[in-house]
Amino acid sequence: MNIPPEVQQLIALAREMRHHAYAPYSGYAVGAAVLTDDGRFFGGCNVENASYGLSVCAERTAVFRAVAEGARAIVAAAVVTPDGGTPCGACRQVLAEFAANLSECPVWIATPDHLVGVYTLAELLPHAFRLPR
Domain edges within the chain:
5-118
132 has pLDDT over 80: no
Backbone phi, psi, residue 121, to 5°: -65, -35
Which pLDDT tens digit goes with each residue over 76-101?
999 999 999 999 999 999 999 999 89
- Identify whether 59 is a catalytic site residue: yes
Fold entry, domain 5-118: Cytidine Deaminase; domain 2 (3.40.140)
118 has pLDDT over 90: yes
Q: Residue 100: what pLDDT? A: 85
Mean local confidence (pLDDT), 19-32: 98
Catalytic residue among 6, 16, 48, 59: 59
Q: What is the pTM of this model?
A: 0.95
31 has pLDDT over 80: yes
Residues composing the chain: 133
Distances (CA, A) of 32 to 14, 127, 129, 131, 132: 4, 23, 22, 25, 27
